[in-house]
Amino acid sequence: MKNFVPGPTYEEMLYPEELPQTIRTKAAAAQADELDPANLFNITWRRSDNRIRHVVLPKELTGVEANILVLVGRHFPSGSHKVGPAYATLMEGELAGEIVPGKSTMIGPSTGNFGIGVAYISRLKGYRAIVIMPEQMSAERYERIRHYGGQLDLTPGSESDVILVLERTREYRKDTRNKVLAQFELLPNYRFHRYVTGRSALEVANEYGNGRVAAFVAAPGSAGTLAAGDEIKSRFRGCIVCAPEPRECSTLFNNGRGTHRIEGIGDKMVTLIHNVLTTDYVALIHDEDCLIGLQLLQQRPALVEQLVHLPEGSLKCFRDLFGVSSLCNILGAIRMARFLGLGSEDNVVTIATDGFDRYPSVLADLEERCGPFAEPEVRDSFEKLFRGGDAADLLDVRSAKEKERLFGYKEEVWAGFGYSHTYLEGMKSQSFWDAETEKIAEIDAALAQARSR
Ligand SMILES: Cc1ncc(COP(=O)(O)O)c(C=O)c1O
């Protein structure tokens, strides 16, 4: 392929140590310049010493016995793990001949992080990128996209108006030089998270407690990250997969469709790539709780340490690691652990998709709306967030009736985008998802061949 800029296979994103040493050396050196294309080989959950990036939350903070393990996404190139699905979708498009290196234009429908990933990967691989996203997302998101040379096409509204973003992509599809990297509907997103994130999560859990995963918690935007739950379930059948969503936009819970403040999740739909068969619970989390939780950990850690009798400075290591949706996942994980009555040998795995660098403007806005965060409020907020939560905010969606309801929501959206009844019916069987995962071997072989030419 002329002008083809090489990147890693799925296997190499999971095990970068399998890369030839010359590439590893170049990738390590490229960390000094984020626009060096060798950074494509840094798309992985691993640090340079091969350990999966994660933190374990102190039990004094969580108030539960179970180990709450958080995979940390902010060290991925471009600042969030969403760069993984962006890369995988582009890479598969190149192999399928749908994307012509150096010539095609990448279209990234997004609420921010996927768009940042699309702009970034396109820059590294030499493509023009247009990111379609709502106009009311955090200022830091637009800045990053522009910084990577991406062009913005903004649609009205905020996080929960993603459907307008999808509708806008229709126009771009008319020009065959455009390739829509459709995160809500294309399976590379599923494959990246099932294989790379899922196996990384299993490896982390292996180091703690009984080595198993009792629950996996990931709030869905595209629902790509939730695919890690499929991989975990294939190893530990009893693992409970929980999808938190904003109380203000309780789509999976009860078809609620309001606006909310948790950027990246709660998109008012069941996405096409959401395997609803493996989602066991939906948890409602108040959006403002996630903002306040972030404010507590980021701006008031010393007060929290005092409150829960942790040694001074023990929460310092979490500084900058979390964004708003990370707090949604963390609160969901704590509440799930409490609800399931998990003990000290049990592990709950969850995800911090991005870090604080995307949110200074969001916390500044919170302070403007609510005033400065005074000490007595910190105490009350901490209790409410980290010790609160109600069983009524959890919905068990394991029954056939609930699955049919969720399939119905999915069909409602995606039949309108041209997906046939037969294709949608196929998604009602786990074998559909397993077959999509098995394609990884073939895709990796094709990429290895393209790289050797
Ligand atoms: C900050 C943030 N959190 C969570 C998510 C949800 O991840 P996924 O799209 O894999 O469901 C996204 C997706 O864009 C995000 O940007």
Confidence band for 291, pLDDT divided at 50, 70 and 90: very high
| DSSP assignments along 170-201, one per residue | HHHHTSTTEEE--TTT-HHHHHIIIIIIHHHH
Tokens of 446: 């094709």
Instruction: Identify the residues whose C-beta falls under 6 Å from ligand 1.
Output: 82, 111-114, 219-225, 263-265, 323, 325, 353-354
Task: Inform me whether the pLDDT recorded for 185 exceeds 90.
Answer: yes
Q: What does residue 281 show for φ and ψ, rounded to 5 degrees? A: -135, 150
Confidence band for 153, pLDDT divided at 50, 70 and 90: very high
* Ligand 1 atom 2, closest CA: 264
Task: Inform me whether the pLDDT recorded for 44 exceeds 90.
Answer: yes
The angle formed by the CA atoms of residues 185, 322 and 335, to the nearest 5 degrees, is 80
Distances, alpha carbon 67 to alpha carbons 341, 352, 447, in Å: 12, 16, 38
Query: Residues with Cβ < 8 Å from 42, sequence gap 6 or more?
Result: 16, 27, 30, 31, 76, 77
Task: Inform me whether the pLDDT recorded for 300 exceeds 80.
Answer: yes
pLDDT, position 29: 98
Q: Tell me the pLDDT tens digit for each residue of 328-369.
A: 999 999 999 999 999 999 999 999 999 999 999 999 999 999
Q: How many other C-beta atoms can be found within 10 angstroms of the C-beta atom of residue 363?
A: 18
The mean per-residue pLDDT over the stretch 388-417 comes to 96
Q: How many other C-beta atoms can be found within 10 angstroms of the C-beta atom of residue 194?
A: 28
Task: Inform me whether the pLDDT recorded for 129 exceeds 90.
Answer: yes
- CA 229–ligand 1 middle distance (angstroms): 15
Q: How many other C-beta atoms can be found within 10 angstroms of the C-beta atom of residue 15?
A: 16
Virtual CA dihedral for 45, 187, 284, 401, nearest 10 degrees?
-140
- CA 241–ligand 1 middle distance (angstroms): 16
pTM: 0.97
* Ligand 1 atom 3, closest CA: 264
pLDDT, position 68: 98
CA–CA dist 138, 78 (Å, integer): 16
- CA 93–ligand 1 middle distance (angstroms): 22
Confidence band for 218, pLDDT divided at 50, 70 and 90: very high
Residue of 82, 321, 322, 351 to mutate, ligand 1, most atoms within 8 A of C-beta:
82
> What pairing do the DSSP bridges indicate for beta strands 105-109 and 128-134?
parallel
- CA 266–ligand 1 middle distance (angstroms): 9
Q: Tell me the pLDDT tens digit for each residue of 103-123.
A: 999 999 998 899 999 999 999
Q: Tell me the pLDDT tens digit for each residue of 89-102.
A: 999 999 999 999 98
The mean per-residue pLDDT over the stretch 10-33 comes to 97
- CA 82–ligand 1 middle distance (angstroms): 7
Tokens of 338: 């409490």
Q: What is the average pLDDT score of the chain?
A: 96
